[in-house]
Structure 1
Amino acid sequence: MQESTCGWLQGTSGIGLAVTPLRMEQMNLSSILTNFTPDTLTTHSWGRLKAALSLHKKTTGMCLQQASYDEDISDAEKVYQECQQSGPLSFSDCIPPARMKHCSKIGEGTFGEVFSTINASNETVALKIIPVEGSQQVNGEQQKTFGEILHEIIISKELSCLNMKEINKTDGFIGLNNLHCVRGHYPEALLKAWDKFDRQKGSENDRPDFFDDEQLFLILEFEFGGSDLENINGKLSSLVQAKSVLHQVTAALAVAEQALCFEHRDLHWGNILVKNIKHKHNEFILNGTVHSIETRGVHVNIIDYSLSRLEIDGLTVSCDISNDEELFMGQGDYQFEIYRLMKKENNNCWSTYNPHSNVLWLHYLAEKLLSMNYKNKAQTNQQRTLKSALKSFQAEILSYPSATEALRNGRFFQ
């Protein structure tokens, strides 16, 4: 699959992402942007405008506050504002030597690498490192621009912030801890970690040793989210855990639909992280009502929003992939058919809101969960009943207009 018009880092493989979200309050931009309408704001202009108007400042235990700035600033300055920097840092400023030595490569995508390390609180986190604004191709593709990377920054912050809300709340999206923009060649410690991953698992990426001292990178620090669903095939205990995974994903999508008119648009099983937990129930809030899900020992985090779409105060951020012909030509997995179905349903107009796209991905997920292997292979009455119920869910899910309606009315979740 190739880069879309907006660009994206494909879902990571191996262990997933990483620990305490950098949260952001939703912005009240309506009074400021009275001369703009959603139809006139493309992904790029909306991201530029919003970033120009917001400088996020950390506050303990709260979403980030914002301040207004001149609109006529460069994309680079907007990214630096999102990172709370006046200019690029060095790698050692961002990842001190004590943390650098703990770095292990845990995944990769078309436009970057993912490493795990520990933070100042000795918690495991994941670092997604994306080269930006350079002239050299990376893994056969052009590097992202600052303007393009704003899309991912903004959506990551908004979804991470849903864990702090009161009316529509979920912790089903990966928590974003911090952002940094750095300049310099790739550190030797990270290259050693890259080599180890390549020896053990094999990398499809170029070894990132060709960058010079002027190369810029965006580093997104995420909470540790576990391993992606594709890589834990055969490691879930049974369909009991699979049901919880499906329930948690559906609930997260429903909350984001209600809060942000959100569509993920790329929710293949590499973008669903699962980790083991001890607590038995997970709560979410949908339109002011608290609900509880039986975790069955697993917690789910959704990642990678490079194709995603959402709204804030009536303003839309979306990725226009209408001319990305290769994206719609993929074969060999139901995932590629979903891209074509989304295009058919929205008439190749990617700014409009069509929550049925989330339903398409839930149908895909149900198929994957039915085809996966599980540790417990015993065909008990419970397992047979669950498998039958999951097949019924798969048969009926496409009739719902949104994940919200599937969650409310699907018999599988009652």
Structure 2
Amino acid sequence: MPRQKVYGKRSRAIYDLNAIHVSSPEQPCEKTTAKTTTVTQTDIPVRANEGRKREKKGERHALAERQNNEVVLPLEVLEYAKVDETPKREPQAKRTDKITLECEEEITLRRSPRRKRTPSKHAVDDISRGKSPSKDIKELLAGDGSPQKCKLSNSAAAQATAKEVTQQVEPLAQIDAVTPYDQHCSSLLDLTTHPIGCFDTWSTQLSSHFSINKIAEASFGEVYRLSLLEEIPDISRSDESVFKIIPLRAPSSALPTDKRKRKAALTKQEMMSKPKDVANEVKLLQRMSAIPGFTNFRDMRILQGRPPEAFSAAFKAWNAEQKAKKKDLSHFPDPSKKTSYSEDQLWAVIEMQDAGNDLERMVENSECTSIWTVWDIFWQVVLSLAKGEEGAEFEHRDLHLGNICVRSTPPTTIDPARKLGFTPLETTIIDYTISRCLMPSTAATPSIAYTDLSLDAALFEGDSTYEYQYDIYRYMRGVLYQDNAFAEIHNFSSKDLAATGRDWEQYHPQTNLVWLHLVLYKLLEQLEWPSALKAPNKKTKKAEWKAWKKANDLEHVLLKVQDLLDPGAICTNEIWSAGDLVLLALCEGWLDAQDVIGHAEGDESALVSQLEGLELQ
């Protein structure tokens, strides 16, 4: 039986219908997994099989538009190109000797003129001579990772670029130039300028400048961090990246024809993602990148092949660390074993700026016991969600602690006169696998990126006696369909859900409040309450007394917010979104306008006007 899956986190918990309840369990534990759903995003264009028209000189491209200056031919076409039996085409046939077929499974790949070059092979020598290789390294991170010579299977080798052949042999112009892999990944290729590359070559290029460490994993992807091996001019730590690496399902034409082998291959692919599902996440990343507090998306590419040694070593090191902490080992297969992945395995690699460590790890390490830390983290997350709501009608729908990253900035002295920013912490919201937002569109009907969670009943069946998070999914469903976290619409059949007139495509920001309840609940669980501390002498220790008094005031505010975000109170107290909670904080004086907008130059009225004027980009 295949393993259950749940977004973001997993557990040993086995679902028991009788164990589901609406109370909030006190003990945290590990989580079950639930099966992901099909993304209903339908606005992704499909690449035509007959090739692409050549662009006009000087024509500009949209950010996510794929370059169309290459034609990809199957391997048998390249074989045919070596000998042209048509007398009229003899001169062109002679020139096809430029294509080198080194063996049946090795082929020389050619770069598209629009692709960026890989770093100079003398980059390390440049450092010793005092020259800056930063340009090479940045081009490496932005490059396509395509090998000059990469051993692939026959089906993978068929992806080789053969532009020279098509230019020289006219009869080949009518042959279908799109490979099964290109066609299968068309929704993703339309969002990047990189063609399908070789995993091993790309990894080798990275390993010369960066160390690769696995830092986390979700149901359908693993997260690796790149760290500079040494200081390099013009390259700072902010240039370091994290990569979410997602195994993709293979096209049906690439599966074995033998029934037994085909069934085994399909079973293995149950833990992999469909390209169109990943494309939905990438579009959300691109959309939300410009909004403060959200992931800084950098790039996306598709790679092919088994995971190289650097990633296999990082996988084993992460497993060893998990074992030492007596935690679950990875639910992904060991990439060093040949039986885990085939030579043709496809991968989506999403590059983002490193946003620090996840909040779940900080809580586990007892790094969130201070009232100043809890206050700053909570309200930064609220502000980010509020700006996401205002700018893109955003709902996260899976905002557990593992999907909040925290980075420390240079330390500051706690100033009791402030209302936010007591600590050197910056939060970032990540992972939009099942999120919903309004996409930019010139059409009359706006485009909505979302996941239809009504098709994934398992997501709402987790056992909350192991982890409170599984109750939150049910609360979210209740407030979306009936503005009541504890609502039970019979068995939530499709007929019952349709009768409410609501669905997951619509905008229901009250779901963000349910997740904010979980974030605050988890943070307050380990808080060292200021009211439990003895007050300093007001006369002899005036500064300490002011800090103690401020800490107590913040404690009372958080307790009040906890009541407002209680699942039973949501939608009954005039608070319907994260934006409403921010407005309440401004009215009550818990936050200032500068805290909401950011510390920019100009008077307060201009900042408030900027907040009210947020529109879709």
Which among 289, 312, 320 is matched to residue 452 of structure 2? 320
After superposition, the C-alpha distances for 1:131-151 in whole angstroms (9 at most, x for unaligned) are: 002474798843111111111
Question: CA separation of 1:359/1:263 partners in 2, compared to 1, >3 Å: closer, same or farther?
Answer: same
CA contact (8 A) 1:89 1:180 kept: no
Q: Report the counterpart of residue 281 of structure 2 in structure 1.
A: 152
Q: Report the counterpart of residue 104 of structure 1 in structure 2.
A: 213
Question: CA separation of 1:93/1:406 partners in 2, compared to 1, >3 Å: closer, same or farther?
Answer: same
Question: CA separation of 1:207/1:386 partners in 2, compared to 1, >3 Å: closer, same or farther?
Answer: same
Q: Report the counterpart of residue 591 of structure 2 in structure 1.
A: 413
**How far apart, CA to CA, are the structure 2 residues paired with 1:340 and 1:92?**
45
2:187 aligned with 1:78: yes
**How far apart, CA to CA, are the structure 1 residues paired with 2:43 and 2:301?**
18
Structure 1 residue 106 displacement after superposition: 0.9
Amino acid at match of 1:271: N
**How far apart, CA to CA, are the structure 1 residues paired with 2:477 and 2:46?**
27
Structure 1 portions without partners, runs of 5+ = 14-41, 53-62, 163-169, 282-291
CA contact (8 A) 2:249 2:269 kept: no
Percent of matched pairs sharing the same residue: 24
Q: Report the counterpart of residue 334 of structure 1 in structure 2.
A: 468
Q: Report the counterpart of residue 370 of structure 1 in structure 2.
A: 524
**How far apart, CA to CA, are the structure 1 residues paired with 2:532 and 2:221?**
41
CA RMSD of aligned residues (A): 3.4
**How far apart, CA to CA, are the structure 2 residues paired with 1:216 and 1:251?**
37
Which among 262, 268, 272 is matched to residue 400 of structure 2? 268
CA contact (8 A) 1:11 1:304 kept: no
Question: CA separation of 1:373/1:294 partners in 2, compared to 1, >3 Å: closer, same or farther?
Answer: closer
Question: CA separation of 1:371/1:326 partners in 2, compared to 1, >3 Å: closer, same or farther?
Answer: same
Which among 330, 341, 354 is matched to residue 204 of structure 1? 330
Q: Report the counterpart of residue 185 of structure 1 in structure 2.
A: 306
Question: CA separation of 1:293/1:65 partners in 2, compared to 1, >3 Å: closer, same or farther?
Answer: farther
Question: CA separation of 1:11/1:409 partners in 2, compared to 1, >3 Å: closer, same or farther?
Answer: same
Q: Report the counterpart of residue 39 of structure 1 in structure 2.
A: none
Identify the structure with bigger relative contact order (alpha carbons < 8 Å, sequence gap 6+): 1
Structure 1 residue 175 displacement after superposition: 1.0
**How far apart, CA to CA, are the structure 2 residues paired with 1:148 and 1:90?**
21
Amino acid at match of 2:320: R
**How far apart, CA to CA, are the structure 2 residues paired with 1:245 and 1:271?**
13
After superposition, the C-alpha distances for 1:351-376 in whole angstroms (9 at most, x for unaligned) are: 11100111111122111111125699
Question: CA separation of 1:106/1:155 partners in 2, compared to 1, >3 Å: closer, same or farther?
Answer: same
Question: CA separation of 1:43/1:278 partners in 2, compared to 1, >3 Å: closer, same or farther?
Answer: same
CA contact (8 A) 2:65 2:190 kept: no
CA contact (8 A) 1:48 1:75 kept: no
Structure 1 residue 195 displacement after superposition: 0.9
Alignment partner of 2:351: what SS?
strand
Question: CA separation of 1:177/1:384 partners in 2, compared to 1, >3 Å: closer, same or farther?
Answer: same
Alignment partner of 2:185: what SS?
helix
Which among 63, 66, 81 is matched to residue 65 of structure 1? 63
Correspondence 1:375-386 to 2 at 5 A: 379=533, 380-386=548-554
Structure 1 residue 74 displacement after superposition: 4.1
**How far apart, CA to CA, are the structure 2 residues paired with 1:384 and 1:308?**
36
Q: Report the counterpart of residue 396 of structure 1 in structure 2.
A: 564
Q: Report the counterpart of residue 36 of structure 1 in structure 2.
A: none
2:462 aligned with 1:343: no
Equivalent residue pairs, number: 353
Amino acid at match of 1:406: L
**How far apart, CA to CA, are the structure 2 residues paired with 1:77 and 1:68?**
10
Question: CA separation of 1:90/1:200 partners in 2, compared to 1, >3 Å: closer, same or farther?
Answer: closer
Structure 1 residue 279 displacement after superposition: 7.5
Amino acid at match of 1:46: T
Amino acid at match of 2:299: N
Question: CA separation of 1:207/1:406 partners in 2, compared to 1, >3 Å: closer, same or farther?
Answer: same
Question: CA separation of 1:105/1:375 partners in 2, compared to 1, >3 Å: closer, same or farther?
Answer: farther
Which is greater in Rg?
2
Q: Report the counterpart of residue 513 of structure 2 in structure 1.
A: 359
Which among 277, 295, 300 is matched to residue 427 of structure 2? 300
Amino acid at match of 1:102: S
Structure 1 residue 299 displacement after superposition: 0.4
After superposition, the C-alpha distances for 1:161-218 in whole angstroms (9 at most, x for unaligned) are: 22xxxxxxx1x11111111110011111111111111112232323223212110101
Choose 266-275 or 43-52, whichever is displaced more. Answer: 43-52
Amino acid at match of 2:421: E
CA contact (8 A) 1:11 1:271 kept: no
**How far apart, CA to CA, are the structure 2 residues paired with 1:195 and 1:364?**
32
Question: CA separation of 1:393/1:309 partners in 2, compared to 1, >3 Å: closer, same or farther?
Answer: same
CA contact (8 A) 1:80 1:86 kept: yes
Structure 1 residue 114 displacement after superposition: 1.3
**How far apart, CA to CA, are the structure 1 residues paired with 2:422 and 2:266?**
43
After superposition, the C-alpha distances for 1:313-349 in whole angstroms (9 at most, x for unaligned) are: 4221110111322211121333222211221222252
Question: CA separation of 1:127/1:139 partners in 2, compared to 1, >3 Å: closer, same or farther?
Answer: farther
**How far apart, CA to CA, are the structure 1 residues paired with 2:343 and 2:272?**
16
Q: As a proportion of its length, which structure holds more strand?
A: 1
Structure 1 residue 64 displacement after superposition: 6.7
**How far apart, CA to CA, are the structure 1 residues paired with 2:266 and 2:273?**
10
CA contact (8 A) 1:104 1:115 kept: yes
CA contact (8 A) 2:436 2:505 kept: yes
Choose 317-326 or 253-262, whichever is displaced more. Answer: 317-326
Give the TM-score of the pair, scaled to structure 1. Answer: 0.76
Amino acid at match of 1:204: S
**How far apart, CA to CA, are the structure 2 residues paired with 1:320 and 1:246?**
28
**How far apart, CA to CA, are the structure 2 residues paired with 1:353 and 1:91?**
42
Structure 1 residue 77 displacement after superposition: 2.2
**How far apart, CA to CA, are the structure 2 residues paired with 1:12 and 1:300?**
23
Choose 321-330 or 399-408, whichever is displaced more. Answer: 321-330
CA contact (8 A) 2:408 2:425 kept: yes
Question: CA separation of 1:293/1:74 partners in 2, compared to 1, >3 Å: closer, same or farther?
Answer: farther
Structure 2 portions without partners, runs of 5+ = 12-37, 49-60, 69-177, 256-264, 324-328, 414-418, 482-496, 498-502, 534-547, 593-617
**How far apart, CA to CA, are the structure 2 residues paired with 1:375 and 1:232?**
18
